[in-house]
Amino acid sequence: MARMIRQGVLDFIGCARPSIADPFLPRKIEEGRIEDIRECIGCNMCITGDMTMSISRCTQNPTFMEEWRKGWHPERMNEKGESQTVLVVGAGPAGLEATRALSLRGYDVTLAEATTTLGGRVARERLLPGLSAWGRVVDYRQYQISQRTNVETYFDSRLTAEDVLGFGFEHVAIATGSHWRRDGVARQHVVPMPIDPAMTVWTPDDVMAKVHPENLAGKTVVVYDDDHYYMGGVMAEVMAKAGANVILVTPSAYVSDWTRNTLEQGAIHVRLDDLGVDIRLNRGVTAIRAGEVETNCTYTGRKTAIGCDAVVMVASRLAEDALYNDLLARQADWADAGIRSVKIIGDASAPAPIAWATYAGHRYARELDTPDIGDALPFRREVTQLEPA
């Protein structure tokens, strides 16, 4: 943006969504603080508030819409409370944001990550087609944390309840994320569907880990999308680019239905059609057998079998909450261990879009050592009027 202004290509640039992600964008450019800019990732999560007639959120700026309601300033944090140390378990979007914000308040924060990479789900999803901008969620927070002397980060640290109890931290935030289910439980099925173990079934986690062969030429892959956000369409694209004959089956009337709220749905459908994906709408999956998938019409219930070699199951996600539950089971030991609170945040609490994870991490940091004011707060409103002439 700055280059185009300097070169005279444009006289001025209006930045609506980038100004939501970082209201101080112009000032940071003027001051040369490029690394401090929270770049918009183009996810259009802000627009979904209008489309669903609900509160808006910003994946990058969790203070958006809370400036008046909760008094959250985009750049300034509230003062530190009476305690000093916090352990954050998990370096996904919730854990990174909690760590960044807690350190700004003045807490001594230890971030424990089970793998060797920061970012959790974002570190994996940023490598998928069309999602490279997701990486800015990690890049901004990783840089900000690297500048803080009161943060220590440990990799290869998959912790147990015994480990946590032995550390002596006053507060523990569990941000261990979630994983995709392979049993089909989502919207159509509230219990696992019949799945023959002879059929190859991949989840998005498997695909992101490249468990599938790189070359799927001559293979037929059914992508079952009962998630309805971006992941089903992306999985179909990955399979198509690997050479597979892809059949996308979804109970919805639209491919990646929820992306109508982010204004991306039409583009996704066109993209998949251009790749030769066979899109079958208004059809669910009732059973997965060796060599075929049984689908049903969402209106009539009539069943049709589709022959295939593999299935990509894009259903729902399960919270990784085992550590939290283990700690709860030993709550009687917390006081002796010096632990004052244990809280689960982000996808580990409730799998959701990335914006909800960064919000959960920020909210945890804001509210630590403060009175509980709840969530159902009224919005403060200003009533404007013209001054008398």
Determine, yes or no, domain membership for 337: yes
pLDDT tens by residue, 33-52: 999 999 999 999 999 999 99
Q: Pick the more confident residue, 239 or 383.
A: 239
* Residue 379 pLDDT > 90: no
Determine, yes or no, domain membership for 159: yes
Contact at 8 Å (CB) between 83 and 367?
Answer: no
Q: With cut-offs at 50, 70 and 90, classify the pLDDT of residue 259.
A: very high
Number of domains the chain contains: 3
Mean pLDDT of 97-109: 98
Determine, yes or no, domain membership for 69: yes
- What 8-state DSSP symbol labels residue 43? -
- 342 in the same domain as 297: no
Q: With cut-offs at 50, 70 and 90, classify the pLDDT of residue 374.
A: confident
**Residue keyed to tokens 């009175």:** 371
Determine, yes or no, domain membership for 303: yes
Q: Which domain holds residue 58?
A: 1-76
Determine, yes or no, domain membership for 381: no
Percent share of the chain, pLDDT over 70: 99
pLDDT reported for residue 91: 98
- 99 in the same domain as 66: no
- 51 in the same domain as 3: yes
pLDDT tens by residue, 163-189: 999 999 999 999 999 999 999 999 999
pLDDT tens by residue, 58-82: 999 999 999 988 999 999 999 999 9
Q: Among 119, 31, 133, which Cα is nearest to 111's?
A: 119
Backbone angles phi, psi at 101, to 5 degrees: -70, -40
Backbone angles phi, psi at 225, to 5 degrees: -110, 100
Determine, yes or no, domain membership for 1: yes
Distance of CA 359 to the CA centre of its chain: 10
* Residue 291 pLDDT > 90: yes
- 82 in the same domain as 72: no
- 341 in the same domain as 290: no
Contact at 8 Å (CB) between 12 and 26?
Answer: no
CATH code, domain with 169: 3.40.50.720
Mean pLDDT of 1-9: 88
